Amino acid sequence: MNRIATGLAIVALIAFQGCVVSQSTHEQTLQDLQATKSDLDRTRVQNEALNKQLKVVQESKVKLKEDLDKATTEVAGKDAAVAKERQAAETKVKDLERQVKELTAAKKTLAQELEVQKQRGEDRLKILKRQQKELKEREQAELLTPPVLPKPAPPATNAPTPPVPNPQEKPGTANPAPVSPPSSASAKPPVAEPVRPPELGPLVDVNKSSETDLILPGLGKEDTQKLIKNRPYKTKDELVTKAGISRDVVDRFKDKLIVGQ
């Protein structure tokens, strides 16, 4: 660049002064001009190379911009997906917390029901023991109750008269003895039935009794119809599990019931 400037300055100086230069100066000027032309050609080549590089850079810039826009779009989509997943995760966490609360409440309820069932089981065991004791006492009372014997027949007030022989009958023949009716004392005494304590009243068979006999204190008409509809029963517990009668109602009158086969 310095040479180009020098050559141009010399040419301008020669043209400006309009004077004749020496041969050596002219040759030097031509050499400088040739060098300047070479520099210009080299500079033009470099400029073209730079233009090509600039074009490549611009194309790369355009491509990078497109890639950047595409990457920005993808990042925005991923951000939306991440936000959606985060929202879904938060919703799932809330659902899990709600389920934990529900399970905790259910566990508490089951624990309470377990305690109630345990207490009912203990009550049933006590009732069963009491019933066994009552049955045992009832059997002992039935065994100790003396049988009812029939009253003896009153003695005969008139003695039978001996038979008078008939003179017309041949000797050796005897009148047949009169047949006396069998005495009531020779009859077998009736078998004494087991006596039920009066405070318990008569027992009612849930498998054979009529609807009228099943009307008991605390048992409504609807429960009576349930008992009749769901026959037969094998145990008294089936009055609850099979007929759907309340446990409290069954416990109230089950001592008055029997389950016949």
Q: Using CA atoms, how far apart are residues 181 and 187, in angstroms rounded to an integer?
A: 12
Ranked by mean pLDDT, the top range of 15-24, 59-68, 117-126, 166-175 is 59-68
CATH number, domain of 242, equals 1.10.150.320
DSSP output for 149-212? PPPPPPPPSSPPPPPPPPTTSPTT--PPPPPPPPPGGGSPPPPPPPPPPTTT---EETTT--TT
Per the structure block, which two tokens stand in for 133? 């004791």
Length of the chain: 261
Residue 72 resides in a domain: no
pLDDT at position 195: 43
- What is the number of domains present in the chain? 2
Residue 66 resides in a domain: no
List the domain range (segments joined by +) for residue 3: 1-51
pTM of the model: 0.29
pLDDT tens per residue, range 38-92? 889 889 899 999 999 999 999 999 999 999 999 999 899 888 899 989 999 999 9
Residue 208 resides in a domain: yes
Q: Whose CA is closest to 252, among 233, 239, 234, 235?
A: 239
| pLDDT of 113 strictly over 60 | yes
Residue 221 resides in a domain: yes
Mean pLDDT of 8-35: 71
Residues 39/1, Cβ–Cβ less than 8 Å: yes
Residue 171 resides in a domain: no
Residue 75 resides in a domain: no
Q: Using CA atoms, how far apart are residues 34 and 7, in angstroms rounded to an integer?
A: 9
